[in-house]
């Protein structure tokens, strides 16, 4: 009992003081449905899709994201005077031309597939075709409190 209690207490402390990393670890296990320690594109589409960024950012509900909607969505994450939740943070992470890179067919709109694939590729830093746990750390940072996705 004692060791179990200690484990729970430690987990609670991690939750309280390291919410970002705890979130990332919990989410990683959830998203890695076949538990092979990588997140493939299918697992990504499920996990990323469930967080609802695409629907939330699609202001006019036409099922595509314009660049303005992306920028507005990112700016909408900014609450409080110290936040810099805007497109510049996404550009810092992914480069200035992230939107045009993600818009695979260059029609000026991102479908959900283009968005999912583009964001997946952007986080797959080593181009391995899957997100390993260190790469997922960036996902957790960006999705957590104060991150630019802030889900
Ligand atoms: Ca997996
Ligand atoms: Ca739209
Ligand atoms: Ca497109
Ligand atoms: Ca990778």
Summarize pLDDT for 34-48 with one digit per residue, the tens: 999 999 999 999 999
Indicate which ligand has the atom closest to the C-alpha of 64.
2
Average pLDDT over residues 94-104: 95
104 domain residue, yes or no: yes
**SS3 assignment, position 69:** helix
Q: Identify the domain containing residue 89 by its residue range.
A: 19-143
Average pLDDT over residues 81-107: 83
**Taking a C-beta distance cutoff of 8 angstroms, is the pair 114, 41 a contact?**
no
101 domain residue, yes or no: yes
Q: What average pLDDT does the chain have? A: 84
CATH number at residue 87: 1.10.238
pTM of the predicted structure, to 2 decimals: 0.79
Phi, psi for residue 65 in degrees, rounded to 5: -105, 120
Tokens 């802030």 -> residue = 150
151 domain residue, yes or no: no
**Taking a C-beta distance cutoff of 8 angstroms, is the pair 129, 41 a contact?**
yes
Residue 25: HSE in the Cβ half-sphere, 13 Å Cα cutoff = 8
- pLDDT digit string, tens, across residues 121-145: 999 999 999 999 999 999 999 998 8
Indicate which ligand has the atom closest to the C-alpha of 61.
2
What is the tally of structural domains in the chain?
1
**pLDDT at residue 81, rounded to an integer:** 41
**pLDDT at residue 77, rounded to an integer:** 59
Q: List the shell of residues around ion ligand 3, using CB closer than 5 Å.
A: 103, 105, 107, 109, 114
58 domain residue, yes or no: yes
What radius of gyration do the chain's Cα atoms show?
A: 17
Indicate which ligand has the atom closest to the C-alpha of 114.
3
């Amino acid at each position: 009992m004692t060791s179990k209690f200690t484990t729970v207490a430690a987990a609670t402390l991690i939750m309280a003081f390291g919410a970002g990393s705890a979130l990332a670890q919990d989410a990683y296990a959830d998203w890695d449905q076949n538990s092979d320690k990588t997140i493939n594109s299918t697992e990504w589409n499920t996990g990323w899709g469930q967080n609802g960024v695409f629907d939330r950012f699609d202001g006019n509900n036409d099922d595509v994201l314009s660049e303005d909607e992306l920028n507005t969505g990112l700016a909408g994450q900014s609450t409080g005077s110290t936040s810099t939740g805007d497109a510049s943070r996404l550009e810092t992470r992914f480069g200035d031309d992230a939107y045009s890179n993600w818009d695979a067919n260059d029609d000026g709109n991102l479908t959900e597939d283009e968005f999912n694939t583009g964001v997946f590729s952007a986080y797959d830093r080593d181009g391995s075709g899957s997100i390993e746990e260190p790469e997922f750390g960036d996902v957790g940072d960006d999705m957590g409190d104060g991150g630019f996705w802030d889900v």
